[in-house]
Amino acid sequence: MKSSRQRQCFSKINRKYFYLLVIGDKKRLDFHEFQDLTRIKWVSMAHNHYILEKLGLYLGFISPFELMNDDAYNVRVLFDKEMLANRS
């Protein structure tokens, strides 16, 4: 299996719900495309204090494994399909 670099984007839908987006490190996140795919009208990058509050982490230390710290189950994780296809 090929390894690929990736990055995580912690996005806020509202004060209660968040998405952890895992994308390839060279891919640019298109918020308009994300809104169309998820049918969410408003999305933004979450501020550092939300990352600390929800996952107990600081910016730069986020990974999908950290969702174990989300006791309220308010964070959903989405993986980029192209990134997963390139791993084989």
> Is the CA virtual torsion 30, 33, 38, 43 positive or negative?
positive
pLDDT at 72: 80
Please state whether beta strands 75-79 and 18-24 pair in parallel, antiparallel, or not at all (unpaired).
parallel
What is the pTM for the complete model shown? 0.71
Listed as ranges, residues in the chain with pLDDT below 70 are 1-4, 87-88
Q: Which residues contact 35 (CB under 8 A, 6 or more apart)?
A: 41, 42, 43
